[in-house]
Amino acid sequence: MKRFKILGLIGLFYLSAFSQAQILPPDKIYGQLFVDVQLQSVFQDSKTFVDCTPKGNAEDIVIKYRLLTKDSVSKIRLEQFVADNFTLPVNTSSDLKTGKPEPVVQHINRLWKVLERKPDVTIPGSSLLPLPYSYIVPGGRFREVYYWDSYFTMLGLRQSGEWGIIENMIRNFSFLIQTYGHIPNGNRTYYLSRSQPPYFCLMINLLAEKKGEGVYAEYLNSLLKEYEYWMDKTAPTKHVVLMPDGSILNRYYDQDSIPRQESYREDYKLATTESLKVDKQKQATIYSQFCRNLRSCAECGWDFSSRWFADGRNISTIQTVNLIPVDLNCLLYHLELTLAHAYKVAGNAVTFNLYLHKANARKAAINTYCWNEREKWYVDYDFARHKQSPELTIAGITPLFVNIVSQQQALQVEKTMKQKFLKRGGLVTTLKNTGQQWDAPNGWAPLQWIAIKGLENYNLKTTAGIIAHRWIKLNVDVYARTGKLMEKYNVENTNLEAGGGEYAGQDGFGWTNGVLLKLMSVYH
């Protein structure tokens, strides 16, 4: 009993899913050293230190630092201490040297090996959660596997015939579910408090194209465990929201309420600023609430965007946990349908009907709470204020992606999308430019694919083709200009690079490569 009390005190709220009690993120391992490195900006990117590996025993490093800090430590001495005791991580670059420009398809096919990681080995003191099979990383500062990125990466791996790595990645995600109770944001200890948009079921659908219906039986238990995680069955994750009419929908909700370890300096400053605006007795509550909203936004993958801000402009008003995201619930609808199909394949008619009923109930709830008749668009629902969010984002096209709208609604959504979101280089993410990376003028590969596939589902192929051709041209033009494939793109001024956010633009880039290859196979 005492052991669990200690774990609670040090902030490990990862519950029963964490079968390995010794899994600690860097802030818990290194304590004051972690705080000092992050707040004194030893590295420009806060993610650098949490991805470092210790050169010796972590406990010994902590003891040495305590002895060092008996006297005041300058930033120069701190930098030297880190250099002496840690090995810095290496960014993955897509800058392949060929001596001459090569076609983008050939470049991407060579990039898979650059972005591939072999099965991991355990390194004491490292934040990496070892995976038993090979996998693809996005690139740049993203040195580990990422959950929702991987589905879009797989679209390109499929075009390249890389079925072996696709299956290995799915096996890794199944391993993570079985080991930790969910698929973390990425395979790092500091990501264990949250997941990401649940695309595992779509990965299984993709693998079934190659291996047949047997994959549903093979991964049924993992599909069920993921569903139970999102539905608060295996742990009090608080993803579930009971709506006024008794229906059930879901939100994003990180299990922790401290600054993100990989963005510690940024979150600490923001949360401190907000907490100082209130009475002293409320400061701790405001601080933790603000951090949870930041972390929960990271779970959604759109970190950050005006979509999540109460005033539609400022991150100081972030309210992620108050919103029912339309796209999250569409993905959970698809997961429910996939479970229904898996049980049908298994010959279990009773459970098939159970999950089909759940899917139909969710479909009805999405249309009740998220369809905006005036805008002819799907929006998030603010359940704290009992009203729809006024923010229009490209997430509103996701219901077409999972086939839950009528043909008439699909035509209305198509019209709104063309009027508001379609730009010279593809689809813009939101209608506001706030300096956040998931706002205008930026476009992102996964969102282009969701929209294109959604339009195709309703035979709206002309518009789907327009988006595809504009996105392909933008990607290829930037590649011709820079030799790189980027994480995100400026779709409004295609001569400018995408910006915004907490870090510089990254290249590589897993999901861009995947979507581009897939689209070029169909539209180019």
Return phi, psi of residue 315, to 5°.
-65, -20
Rounded to whole angstroms, the Cα distance separating 220 from 223 reads 5
Catalytic residue of the set 120, 162, 487, 507: 487
Query: Which of 377, 494, 394 minimizes the C-alpha distance to 447?
Result: 394
Tokens of 267: 């979150």
Number of H helices, E strands in the chain: 21, 15
Collapsed DSSP state (helix, strand, coil) of residue 400: helix
The whole-angstrom separation of Cα 156 and Cα 371 is 32
3-state secondary structure of 512: helix
Phi, psi of 135 (to 5 degrees): -160, 170
The CA distances from residue 348 to 204, 333, 340, 343, 352, in Å, are 19, 20, 9, 5, 6
CA distance 104 to 515: 13
Please answer whether residues 26 and 43 qualify as being in contact, where contact means their C-beta atoms are separated by less than 8 angstroms. no
pLDDT of residue 15: 35
The helix/strand/coil state of 136 is strand
**Tell me, what's the pLDDT at 16?**
32
Residues in the chain: 524
Least Cα distance to 200 among 344, 394, 221, 260 occurs for: 221
Q: Select from 463, 379, 376 the least CA-distant residue to 422.
A: 463
Give the pLDDT score at 97.
63
Question: Would you write out the chain's pLDDT as a tens digit for each of its 524 residues?
Answer: 333 332 332 233 333 333 334 689 999 999 999 999 999 999 999 999 999 999 999 999 999 999 998 777 899 999 999 999 999 999 887 776 655 679 999 999 999 999 999 999 999 999 999 999 999 999 999 999 999 999 999 999 999 999 999 999 999 999 999 999 999 999 999 999 999 999 999 999 999 999 999 999 999 999 999 999 999 998 788 999 999 999 999 999 999 999 999 999 999 999 999 999 999 999 999 999 999 999 999 999 999 999 999 999 999 999 999 999 999 999 999 999 999 999 999 999 999 999 999 999 999 999 999 999 999 999 999 999 999 999 999 999 999 999 999 999 999 999 999 999 999 999 999 999 999 999 999 999 999 999 999 999 999 999 999 999 999 999 999 999 999 999 999 999 999 989 888 888 898 999 999 999 999 999 97
Six-digit token pair at 369? 């709470």
Cα(110)–Cα(288) distance, rounded to whole angstroms?
45
- The answer to whether 88 and 52 have CB atoms below 8 angstroms apart is yes
Residue type, 369: Y
d(C-alpha 389, C-alpha 372), whole Å? 10
- Cα separations (Å) of 9 from 3, 5, 22, 52? 10, 6, 14, 25
Q: Where are the domains of the chain?
A: 19-89, 391-524
Selected catalytic residue, list 144, 254, 299, 303: 303
Could you write out the DSSP letters of every residue in 62-104?
HHHHHHHTTS---HHHHHHHHHHHEEPP--B------SS---H
**Contact 297/320 with Cβ under 8 angstroms?**
yes
Specify whether 487 is catalytic. Answer: yes
